[in-house]
């Protein structure tokens, strides 16, 4: 038996409602176990370390990828410049937009979004 479009839409809505309930339940269960930053993002990996640097005020002045790399290495967290660059770029785009990216002398520089 072939289902009508209206029946399919009803089933999809029901499944979406169930999914939303499950996601909310999972988020409430995990909410206390994972450290989150003031931006609401999980602090994990290279991205989490960069978010911590933003919160500490490291990006209150313009910083290059090399400066970020040096700071992470100094703190005992070495990552490749490629990973650092990609995470910095992700932090300039929606939905995060924590950083602004500027081009100075053929190099990209990053500063905290105001």
Q: What is the mean pLDDT of each run of 10 residues along the chain (114 residues)?
A: 84 82 69 49 81 94 96 91 94 90 94 90
- Pull the structure tokens for residue 51: 């978010």
How far out from the chain centre does Cα 34 lie? 15
- Pull the structure tokens for residue 111: 């500063």
Q: What is the pLDDT of residue 31?
A: 52
Q: Are 79 and 72 in contact (CB under 8 A)?
A: yes
CA distances from 69 to 9, 38, 64 (A): 50, 23, 9
Q: Are 43 and 51 in contact (CB under 8 A)?
A: yes
Place of tokens 């919160």: 55
Residue 60 φ/ψ, nearest 5 degrees: -70, -25
Q: What is the pLDDT of residue 32?
A: 46
Q: What is the pLDDT of residue 33?
A: 43
Q: What is the pLDDT of residue 39?
A: 53
> pTM for the full model?
0.63
Q: What is the pLDDT of residue 51?
A: 92
Provide the CATH number for the domain formed by 45-112 in this structure: 1.10.10.10
């Amino acid at each position: 038996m072939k289902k009508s479009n209206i029946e399919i839409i009803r089933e999809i809505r029901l499944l979406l409602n169930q999914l939303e309930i499950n996601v909310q339940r999972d988020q409430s269960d995990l909410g206390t176990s994972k450290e989150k930053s003031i931006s609401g993002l999980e602090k994990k990996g290279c991205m989490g370390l960069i978010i911590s640097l933003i919160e500490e005020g490291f990006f209150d002045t313009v910083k290059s990828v090399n400066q970020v790399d040096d700071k992470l290495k100094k703190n005992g967290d070495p990552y490749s410049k490629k990973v650092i660059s990609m995470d910095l770029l992700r932090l300039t785009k929606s939905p995060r937009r924590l950083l602004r990216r500027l081009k100075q002398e053929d190099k990209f520089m990053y500063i905290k979004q105001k």
